[in-house]
Amino acid sequence: MKAILDFLARSRDVLQAAIDDASFVRAVEDAADVVTDALRARGKLLIAGNGGSAADAQHIAGEFVSRLNYDRAPAAALALTVDTSVLTAIGNDYGYERVFERQVLGLGRPGDVFLAISTSGRSPSILRAMDAAREGGLKVIAFTGRSGGEMLMRADLSLRVPSDSTPLIQQVHITAAHIVCGLVEERLFPRAEGA
């Protein structure tokens, strides 16, 4: 029981730290603004991460393309973590550190947004993709942990979770992504009066 309660308390504490961090809250709102503007202009959201962050990329894309809070039109979002043929071809031919970079180069267009997820801020595959996105005219949003690592200098906007614990950072990333998606949903697809 103690281990369970300790982890739940740590989860609560990092969420409270995020609530109390004005720069974190502002970054969530700024991310919603950037994504809203891109989707309104017929752009798309590309998302990538490794390991648990790869699963988060897929989760986030699903919320945009399907729905989060209510029925509405789909929003253009794509997780770069899902096509095993593409991932293994790039990994085999160019090296794993280029699996997202090549996809950003092939799929990204000026005005799109690249959401880069790395709890450490040091994932080579994510850093290379961020560089490719910036060079290609995409806006780059970083979801990372307290230090931000090397992502900070590559991002237009950084959302830094006030923690150094990977599982807790990931929990707050998905919470922030839900908030961003909810705000975008309300702005682009307002609910009918009384719905």
| 125 assigned binding-site residue | no
Full DSSP string of the chain = -HHHHHHHHHHHHHHHHHHH-HHHHHHHHHHHHHHHHHHHTT--EEEE-STHHHHHHHHHHHHHHT-SSS------EEETT--HHHHHHHHHHH-GGGHHHHHHHHH--TT-EEEEE-SSS--HHHHHHHHHHHHTT-EEEEEE-SS-GGGGGG-SEEEE-S-S-HHHHHHHHHHHHHHHHHHHHHHHSPPPTT-
| 173 assigned binding-site residue | no
Residue 123 contacts by C-beta under 8 Å, 6 or more apart in sequence? 49, 50
Residue pair 46/104 in contact (Cβ under 8 Å)? The answer is yes
| 103 assigned binding-site residue | no
| 50 assigned binding-site residue | yes
| 148 assigned binding-site residue | no
| 69 assigned binding-site residue | no
| 171 assigned binding-site residue | no
| 16 assigned binding-site residue | no
Q: Would you list which residues are annotated within the binding site?
A: 50-52, 59, 63, 92-93, 118-120, 123, 170, 178
Q: Would you list which residues are annotated within the binding site for Zn(2+)?
A: 59, 63, 170, 178
Q: Would you list which residues are annotated within the binding site for substrate?
A: 50-52, 63, 92-93, 118-120, 123, 170
